[in-house]
Amino acid sequence: MADNAQGVKAVSATGMTAPPQTGKVEYYEIQKGDTLSAIVKQFLGQAAVHPKIFETHSEVIKDPFRPEDSHPR
């Protein structure tokens, strides 16, 4: 993910700890042809909130209509 943010060469979490996981975590691998609104609808039940999600994550999602282009392979 670090390659997606301009000027960021590496990210390190050495020495950091996270609180225990208390809820279910779901992972989704972006597929060719996916749109952000379709992914949001699948997980949240409504696509209408996808602009806010795009705004919040614009440093890693470059195009909400082609999120697979933002996903490092």
Structure confidence by residue, pLDDT tens digits, 20-43: 888 888 888 888 888 888 888 888
Distance CA 9, CA 11 (A): 7
Residue extents of the structural domains in the chain: 1-9+37-73
Structure confidence by residue, pLDDT tens digits, 47-63: 888 788 888 777 777 77
Backbone angles phi, psi at 55, to 5 degrees: -60, -45
1 pLDDT higher than 50: no
Q: Which pLDDT value is given to residue 70?
A: 58
Neighbours of 40 (CB within 10 A): 20
Q: Give the number of residues written for the chain.
A: 73
Q: Which pLDDT value is given to residue 43?
A: 85
